[in-house]
């Protein structure tokens, strides 16, 4: 050990030089590692951002695909409802389809005009025809009044010309529903027989007396009821089941027996 100390003392300048070189080398290694870490972190942030963006796009496309699939499945479920089949008697239900539902997307919608309309992304090539009913997942939306190859024009319930044949769900009394022309959330129930009383919360549904809608589809719920003894019919304010300000996905209803029913009616009236 003493010999080593003597050697280092005699060559202390050389020893100091070696120590400084080792220290410099260690500092260089640490510096390189730090720079490499910074570079790696920067690259990781960049690629991570890219992957996140790509992932978000992929998730959106997948979600859109899944959503479309869900809409088709919902339409299939609607097609299996009892109201979608022709019932011949009380003991047997025939597999004779009466209504068919298929999904569509709202691409234009007005809610605050005097007469409001909706444009859908389905048209003649997809089987849409005039006088087909349109509903949302919550209830009635409107009636198709115009069709092109790829699009259809719907007169929504928020239209002065819209008058829907309806029933009071609790007692099946016939009434009509019109828009009150003030708010896209509210309509009016008119032509209520004087002997019929309504209460807040009563449900109004389609009557099934037209070629357009099956019976029992929700239209709205009663808010206030006004009885006027001086008039033959009463009226009530109603809140629509469908939210017209947030419409995006809807279902178009095809009555597969419509032409037969119309022909029968025409033949009967011409006799």
Res 256 pLDDT > 90: no
Backbone angles phi, psi at 57, to 5 degrees: -65, -45
State residue 226's pLDDT score.
Answer: 77
State residue 196's pLDDT score.
Answer: 85
Residue predicted with more confidence, 231 or 246: 246
Contacts of residues 63-69 at CB distance under 8 Å and 24 or more positions apart, as own/partner, are 67/249, 68/103
Q: Give the Cα separation of 99 and 87 in Å (integer).
A: 12
Q: Give the Cα separation of 176 and 38 in Å (integer).
A: 72
pLDDT band with cut points at 50, 70 and 90 for residue 227: confident
State residue 20's pLDDT score.
Answer: 59
**Minimum mean pLDDT range among 13-22, 25-34, 84-93, 133-142:** 84-93
pLDDT band with cut points at 50, 70 and 90 for residue 90: very low
Q: Give the Cα separation of 82 and 85 in Å (integer).
A: 6
Q: What is the value of pTM for the model shown?
A: 0.66
**Minimum mean pLDDT range among 18-27, 84-93, 161-170, 172-181:** 84-93
Res 190 pLDDT > 80: yes
pLDDT band with cut points at 50, 70 and 90 for residue 257: confident
pLDDT band with cut points at 50, 70 and 90 for residue 216: very high
State residue 133's pLDDT score.
Answer: 96
Q: What is the mean pLDDT of residues 167-185?
A: 92
State residue 76's pLDDT score.
Answer: 60
pLDDT band with cut points at 50, 70 and 90 for residue 11: low
Res 153 pLDDT > 80: yes
CB atoms within 10 A of CB 236: 25
Return the bridge partners of 59, or none: none
pLDDT band with cut points at 50, 70 and 90 for residue 114: confident
Report yes or no: 162 and 156 within 8 Å, Cβ to Cβ.
yes
Q: Give the Cα separation of 114 and 181 in Å (integer).
A: 7
State residue 146's pLDDT score.
Answer: 94
Query: How many angstroms separate the Cα of 153 from the Cα of each of 58, 59, 75, 104, 181?
Result: 32, 31, 20, 12, 20
Q: Give the Cα separation of 234 and 51 in Å (integer).
A: 63
Res 48 pLDDT > 70: no
């Amino acid at each position: 050990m003493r010999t080593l100390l003597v050697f280092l003392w005699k060559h202390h300048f050389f020893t100091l030089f070696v120590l400084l070189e080792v220290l410099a080398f260690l500092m260089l290694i640490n510096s390189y590692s730090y720079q490499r870490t910074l570079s790696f972190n920067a690259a990781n942030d960049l690629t991570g951002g890219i992957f996140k963006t790509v992932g978000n796009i992929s998730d959106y496309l997948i979600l859109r695909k899944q959503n479309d699939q869900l809409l088709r499945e919902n339409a299939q479920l609607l097609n299996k409802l009892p109201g979608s089949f022709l019932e011949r008697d009380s003991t047997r239900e025939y597999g004779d389809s009466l209504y068919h539902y298929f999904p569509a997307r709202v691409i234009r919608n007005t809610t605050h005009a005097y007469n409001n309309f909706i444009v859908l992304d389905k048209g003649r090539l997809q089987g849409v025809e005039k006088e087909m009913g349109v509903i949302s997942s919550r209830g009635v939306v409107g009636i198709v009044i115009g069709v092109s190859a790829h699009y259809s024009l719907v007169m929504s319930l928020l239209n002065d010309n819209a008058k829907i044949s309806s029933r009071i769900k609790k007692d099946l009394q016939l009434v009509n529903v019109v828009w009150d022309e003030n708010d896209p959330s509210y309509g009016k129930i008119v032509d209520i027989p004087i002997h019929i009383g309504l209460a807040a919360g009563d449900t109004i549904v389609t009557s099934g007396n037209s070629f357009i809608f099956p019976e029992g589809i929700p239209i709205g719920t009663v808010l206030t009821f006004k009885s006027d003894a001086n008039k033959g019919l009463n009226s009530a304010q109603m809140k629509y089941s469908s939210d017209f300000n947030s419409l995006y996905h809807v279902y178009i209803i095809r009555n597969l027996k419509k032409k037969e029913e119309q022909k029968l009616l025409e033949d009967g009236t011409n006799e």
